[in-house]
Amino acid sequence: MAPFTSQELRKGFSSFATGVTVITCLDEEGMHHGITISSFNTVSLEPPLILWSLKKHSRLMPWVEVGKKHLIHVLERSQENLAMHFATVKLDQFVGVEHKLAVSGLTQIEHCVAYYECETITVHIGGDHNIIVAKVINLKNDPEKEPLIFARSKFVGVDFTETHPN
């Protein structure tokens, strides 16, 4: 096989459809931060573990290190605007975003499909990203809502009402 460029690799990776999440966390001064992440995977049911990736030099990295808590929001199909909003760094990220404080003190964005309150248990280096493995402490899921999906560099929807023969 011939070598490939990073752009070709990125395009190839985009063939894999993934859910879209926003992760919120707190800094050492108690300020709230959020970031859009599509690199989210389940790891284990017992213990309940998930993983997600963050650029190694992200400004959020100190606030999601081992022992830190964060809240993962699975975005709903109509929340493309939130995915784009949290994809870029900005001051006062939560102005104009429907949210509340969860019992944990973390920012909870309203109307999402699911929420996973987590605590980071380990961080692995993976190239230019850190792989964060976190234990799920609490969760909330609304099976009536449909998740936002990202594939081939665009947002897509999935119709879960279709049935297929077994």
Residue 7: band (very low, low, confident or very high) from pLDDT cuts 50, 70, 90? confident
SS (H, E, C) the chain: CCCCCHHHHHHHHCCCCEECEEEEEECCCCCEEEEEECCEEEEECCCCEEEEEEECCCCCHHHCCCCCEEEEEECECCCHHHHHHCCCCCCCCCCCCCEEECCCCCEEECCCCEEEEEEEEEEEEECCEEEEEEEEEEEEECCCCCECEEECCEEECCCCCCCCCC
Question: How does pLDDT run across 25-59, given as a tens digit for each residue?
Answer: 999 999 999 999 988 999 999 999 999 999 999 99
Average pLDDT, the chain: 90
Does 162 score more than 60 pLDDT? no
Residue 159: band (very low, low, confident or very high) from pLDDT cuts 50, 70, 90? low
Kindly report whether the global pTM for this prediction surpasses the value 0.85: yes
pLDDT confidence of residue 158:
64
Question: What are the residue boundaries of the structural domains of the chain, listed by start?
Answer: 18-156
Q: Which CATH number fits domain 18-156: 3.30.470.20, 3.90.50.10, 2.30.110.10, 3.30.1330.20?
A: 2.30.110.10
